[in-house]
Amino acid sequence: MKKHDYSLRILPYIPFFYVIWSDDLLSASETNVVRKAIENDDTLTKEDVKLLSGWLQRDNPPADSELKGWKHLVHNSEVKLIESDTYPLSSLSQRMASYYQSDDTFNEQLKQIEINLGIQPNHYNHLFDVEVEHETTSDHYNAKELDLILKGKHAALIDRFRTDLDDPLFTWDIHRNKEAFREIVLKQVRFLAERGYGALAYPEAYGGTADMEGYAYMFENMMYVDGSLTIKFGVQFGLFGGSIQKLGTEKHHDTYLKETGEANLLGCFAMTETGHGSNVRGVKTTATYDAESDQIIIHTPGANDNKEYIGNALHSKMASVFAQLIVDGKNQGVHAILVPLRNEQHELMPGVKIEDNGYKLGLNGVDNGKIWFNQVAVPRANLLNKYGDIRDDGSYHSAIKNPNKRFFTMLGTLVGGRICVARAGLGGAKMALAVAIKHALKRRQFNDSIKIQEDLLMDYPTHQLRLTPLVANAYVYHVTLDKMMEDYCDESQPDKRVIETQVAGLKSIITWYANDTIQECREACGGKGYLIENRIADLKGDVDIFTTFEGDNTVLLLLAAKGVLSDFKAEFNSAGFSAVLKLLGSQLSDKLATINPLYANKVDSEHLYNQKFHKHAFDYRTRRLTYTLAMRIRSYIKKGMPSYQAFMKVQTHLIALGKAYAAELAYTTYCDYVEAMPDGKNKTLFEKLGALHALYEIRKDAEWFLEQGYIGGTKSKAIRQRVERLCTELRPHLGVLVDGWGIPDHCLSAPIAN
């Protein structure tokens, strides 16, 4: 192909048309994008426009010989594809045209095509067979700005905390001996306590600043150091100390809280039992009040009624023990009692038996153990009595008369722990993504020419697709967890039932996301990801359990779904269900109209990238699942089935609703946040991340949306293509996006990340 075969005005369009037809980027709905650009180019003649328009016919594509001619035209110009250019393909096209016609005028219409079609040709060097100036990441965005946005009002605290983590005590290492590992982690916990981080969420009178929101950030950042540190820190100050703070009263605070925050009093949180798992209300450990001695007797009645998986069990001197409180022969339900485990010489107290859980899949720096109690007597004052008390006359009293409401109110005060676990899981996912992406921005593999250096892993579309949506998810979940903790700490909203339902769902989907992400990162790093020195292997073991503790994810999703169904009431009965159903019907039935076929197959980019479409899709799924679930339960109850059995019959439906509810909550929370951001390039970036997150989530559940007729096959395909295209668009900025999480260099110790 010779240069004079085309007019000099058409030359800049040649690389675009070659990319379009080689990669099949041109869908029917996007033909107008290119046609509009051509029509707006006043440098083109009518003949030029006619020729270019002829190349836009999908039913009559250019011949192979013409495609080869276009490729040679670009190759013979000896231009480079420079990835750091703001508009790489437009710049290449302009340089090629300049080679033939010595004209440096930039064609703005080419830029519009590149933007609107989402072309980021960082893997097109093989198409053109030209030299590529590779880049690891662009400088269009500033990682420090992104970090500052994410830290928000907690910036000073987080920066100070990250600086303190630079102490040699926190240098990551491979630990083979669990006893030695546990001692290191204990020293790390004490170190952080000395600097005030343990007491951060406690009132000022007890050494803290009442900053529960800031406290939650510690969990994400501690995961950059080690999972065992994160969990032991949480057990000591969040679970043990939190139970004293949230379930106790002033006498308990004065006696124990300051000592706990300083790690002078080490404690554990003894709730879970071997035989009863997530069924906290069904624990068998008893706490029987003996009026004659004015003591509470703690006892393990059966072989499988011991407390198990209790973190800090081997280092603790005291435990918050959850047991059935029996007063004057009547069971008043589960309450928490402070029980001494060891004396000042660290010897077990009479009647207390503790065993090590031994080696685990991960978190071997945490001293998990089993605890049995054999008629262990403690003073009546050790009852954490905020919601239920034993008076001086030996009678039981609670301001909350309903036992069920009292139980859920008590557990609701501990919801903050679930937010912290989700935050820790997110930190693990961010750490794994940082390692995997930094590796992929350096590691090269394969090409089709011995003359050209191998391609970066991150330049492969498959690699982009497996990691980029996970980065977008991390940004969405970060913002969502910030909002959840802010709402949890809002004292103007004392009823925590709403936030409990929200957190139950979010904790589940985010910790599952964390595990899936870490596994994907491990595979994306190949054999290097399997080496312990590169941190991902440890993250796999440590984060795995996050799906189980602080509430098993499946059980929590059932809780979330029931909250949606019952207006956040904990239980149903057949009499009350009709009223609930009536409420649901009025709210939902009028919003489930048949989807217009035109809407179901609407595929233009403006629609698919629009928040209104994403929100409508998530809202439709939640409402549809809620309504159909209510119908199913009503049908079973009408047939005489007890409500408990009716719920058993629809458990899989409940799980689907729980996931849908949590996904919608996360996205709408993120959208609200982005809407409030000041206009500018960072807001645009966050909007693009939100679009990728939403389309990726819809794509993952495409089966359901297709079954319901909400989307058609054409739209499903378009969503898949848009996800892939957004991944390519974000490719130049991935390095900045992971640096925007602010993981300190001294924590990012994986060799493949450096």
Kindly list the structural domains of the chain, giving each domain's residue range(s) and its CATH number in brackets, ordered by start.
Answer: 3-133 (no CATH), 267-405 (2.40.110.10), 416-739 (1.20.140.10)
| Per-residue pLDDT tens digits for 644-680 | 899 899 999 999 999 999 999 999 999 999 999 999 9
Which of 30, 550, 664, 724 is catalytic? The answer is: 550
Question: 78 an active-site residue?
Answer: no
Please tell me the distance from the alpha carbon of residue 253 to that of residue 199, in angstroms, as a whole number.
12
CB count within 10 Å of CB 42 equals: 6
pTM above 0.75, yes or no: yes
Coil, strand or helix at 352:
strand
d(CA 729, CA 657): 33
Long-range contacts made by residues 26-31, C-beta under 8 angstroms, separation at least 24? 26/56, 26/58, 26/117, 27/603, 27/718, 27/721, 28/58, 29/603, 29/604, 29/605, 29/718, 30/116, 30/117, 30/604, 30/605, 31/56, 31/58
> Is 621 exposed, middle or buried (CB count within 10 Å of its CB: 0-12, 13-18, 19+)?
buried
For residue 451, the model assigns a pLDDT of 45
- For the chain, list residues with pLDDT below 70: 1-5, 23-30, 83-86, 101-106, 118-137, 446-454, 494-495, 566-597
Q: Over the Cα atoms of the chain, what is R_g?
A: 30
CB 512 within 8 A of CB 547: yes
- Helix, coil or strand: residue 579: helix
Query: Residue-wise over 379-398: b if at least 16 C-beta within 10 A, else e?
Result: ebebbbbbbbbbeeeeebeb
Helix (H) or strand (E) holding 82: strand 80-82
Give the per-residue pLDDT at 21. 80
The 10 Å Cβ neighbour count of residue 464 is 24
> Over the stretch 598-631, which tens digit does the pLDDT of each residue have?
778 888 888 999 999 999 999 999 989 988 898 8
Cα(172)–Cα(168) distance, integer angstroms: 9
Alpha helices in 253-337 (DSSP H): 258-261
**C-alpha distances in Å from residue 212, one per residue of 202, 480, 602:** 8, 16, 45
DSSP state, 671? H
225: which residues sit within 8 A by CB, 6+ positions away? 165, 170, 172, 188, 747
Vertex 223 angle, CA 222 and 227, to 5°: 105
Ordered alpha helix ranges (H), 535-649? 536-544, 553-565, 574-588, 597-600, 605-608, 611-638, 643-649
Written as six digits, the tokens of 308 are 């198990």
